[in-house]
Structure 1
Amino acid sequence: MKLTKRLHSCVQLEKDGRVLVIDPGAFSEPDAGLGADALLVTHEHPDHFDEGRLRAALDANPAAALWTLRSVAERLAPAYPGRVHTVGHGDAFSAAGFEVQVHGELHAVIHPDIPRVTNVGYLVEGSLFHPGDALTVPEVAVDTLMLPVHAPWNKVAEVIDYLREVKPRRAIDIHDAYLSDIARPVYDGALAALGGTDHGRLAAGEAAQL
């Protein structure tokens, strides 16, 4: 399986000529969802869910389908009957040949006065886990963890502890649009020294074979 990092929290996976895209939001490239056979969205916040990008992807490929939580599915299902699927914690499904399990229920706490929205994470091919905006620990082993490295709802100590708890073979940064280049070495050094796993990052458009 080939992983291509897109901007912010968007990732593209390729296997056997099929393409799956997770979270093509407003911070990702305008064409981030194009070419997808399957699309997954973790939650409704605009940096993960952009309706225009999803519509463009679904219009471009009439065979493409979307799997997501109810709040997002309700926005798109009427226009794409039979192609938008609602999922939640504990579900498992096949999307364009990719086997996917759903883990997690709520977005991380931003502030006690801000209501928490639903957030689901996706374990793809029993290997790669994308948690969206939460520090969900799946009840299964994770080979590659897409790590939300910097967000309004986390601090580096929590990210380090998350790595230690999940214990992936390797971690690759996502949710990094908020993090300036001048601060990256601080995060890289702390995560490499204290996270207990192989930690790295990919530039937008850079790929890795999993």
Structure 2
Amino acid sequence: MRLTKFGHAAVRIEHDGTTLVLDPGTWSQRESVDGVDAVLITHEHPDHYDAENLRATDAPIFTIGAVAAQIRELAPDVAERVTVVSPDESWTIGGVGVRAIGELHAVIHPDLPRFHNSGYLLSVGEETVFHPGDAFTVPGVPVEVLLAPVCAPWMRSSEGVDFARAVGAPRNVAIHDRVYSAEGLGVVDMQFGRLLGARGLDYVRLPDGADL
């Protein structure tokens, strides 16, 4: 398996001739979608979904109903490539198994409406990779690699650490890291590394374009 970080929440997975990209939003690089076999989108926020990135590929798009509705309204030229998925639905894309996990975005503020969100659990050879989107939904099965959100308007770093501990993945790769300054990310990296390391869990934050 080859896992490449492409800015903020966008992660590209390559395995046995199949290439997927998750959440190529406005803060991710356009090359994240080059040559992919499928695009998976967790929810409608622009840091996870960008119509221009979808137009840069002819790959099928898998996402939730709320994103599909936005695509039909704002990017109808790609709407025919969209498949709507439901919580706990499973399917395969080439040699990769996919399962939709969860239904709701984390609470941003009690006065704001809840958005829908689907995480994606990927079966990649002998390993599982979990991208939660903007949610703290624990998949309830063993995970080898967690794509762990580290900073957001809807979370404290302690919540992110506790979520990663609850998932219990041996390897944790930071995502959702465009919100803080470089100085703030230094503090977060120290906290995640120290607190997850105390449980025997590895933590890394990859530079854009770097592979795991």
Q: Give the 5 Å matches for 1:188-203.
A: 188-195=189-196, 196=199, 197-203=201-207
- Which residue of structure 1 lines up, in the alignment, with residue 56 of structure 2? 56
Give the letter aligned to residue 98 of structure 2: V
Given that 2:128 and 2:143 are in contact with CA atoms closer than 8 Å, whether structure 1 keeps it comes out as yes
TM-score, with structure 2 as normaliser: 0.90
Given that 2:44 and 2:70 are in contact with CA atoms closer than 8 Å, whether structure 1 keeps it comes out as no
TM-score, with structure 1 as normaliser: 0.91
Given that 2:55 and 2:78 are in contact with CA atoms closer than 8 Å, whether structure 1 keeps it comes out as no
Q: Give the 5 Å matches for 1:73-112.
A: 73-76=68-71, 79-80=77-78, 83-112=81-110
Given that 1:106 and 1:117 are in contact with CA atoms closer than 8 Å, whether structure 2 keeps it comes out as yes
Instruction: Output the CA distance in 1 between the equivalents of 2:159 and 2:78.
Output: 39
Instruction: Output the CA distance in 2 between the equivalents of 1:153 and 1:76.
Output: 24
Kindly state the Cα deviation for residue 82 of structure 1 after the two structures are TM-superposed. 5.6
Q: Among the aligned pairs, what percent are the same residue?
A: 44
Given that 1:20 and 1:96 are in contact with CA atoms closer than 8 Å, whether structure 2 keeps it comes out as no
Give the letter aligned to residue 48 of structure 1: H
- Which residue of structure 2 lines up, in the alignment, with residue 61 of structure 1? none
Q: Give unmatched runs, 5+ long, in structure 1.
A: 59-63
- Which residue of structure 1 lines up, in the alignment, with residue 138 of structure 2? 137
- Alignment coverage as a number of residue pairs: 203
Q: Give the 5 Å matches for 1:24-43.
A: 24-43=24-43
Give the letter aligned to residue 99 of structure 1: G
Given that 2:54 and 2:78 are in contact with CA atoms closer than 8 Å, whether structure 1 keeps it comes out as no
Instruction: Output the CA distance in 1 between the equivalents of 2:28 and 2:81.
Output: 23
Given that 1:5 and 1:204 are in contact with CA atoms closer than 8 Å, whether structure 2 keeps it comes out as yes
Kindly state the Cα deviation for residue 2 of structure 1 after the two structures are TM-superposed. 0.5
Give the letter aligned to residue 100 of structure 2: V
Which of these residues, 93, 116, 138, is aligned with residue 114 of structure 2? Answer: 116
Runs of 4+, deviation exceeding 6 Å: none
Kindly state the Cα deviation for residue 134 of structure 1 after the two structures are TM-superposed. 0.6
Between 24-33 and 120-129, report the one with greater CA deviation: 24-33
Report the 3-state secondary structure (helix = DSSP H, G, I; strand = E; otherwise coil) of the residue aligned with 2:30. coil
Instruction: Output the CA distance in 2 between the equivalents of 1:121 and 1:141.
Output: 15
Give the letter aligned to residue 73 of structure 1: A
- Which residue of structure 1 lines up, in the alignment, with residue 211 of structure 2? 207
For residues 14-47 of structure 1, give each alpha carbon's deviation from its aligned partner in whole angstroms, at most 9, with x where no partner exists. 1122210000001111333232111000000000
Give the letter aligned to residue 65 of structure 2: R
Kindly state the Cα deviation for residue 80 of structure 1 after the two structures are TM-superposed. 4.7
- Which residue of structure 2 lines up, in the alignment, with residue 175 of structure 1? 176
Flag the 1:75–1:55 CA change in 2: closer, same or farther, 3 A.
farther
Flag the 1:25–1:81 CA change in 2: closer, same or farther, 3 A.
closer
Kindly state the Cα deviation for residue 52 of structure 1 after the two structures are TM-superposed. 1.5
Kindly state the Cα deviation for residue 83 of structure 1 after the two structures are TM-superposed. 2.9
Q: Give unmatched runs, 5+ long, in structure 2.
A: none
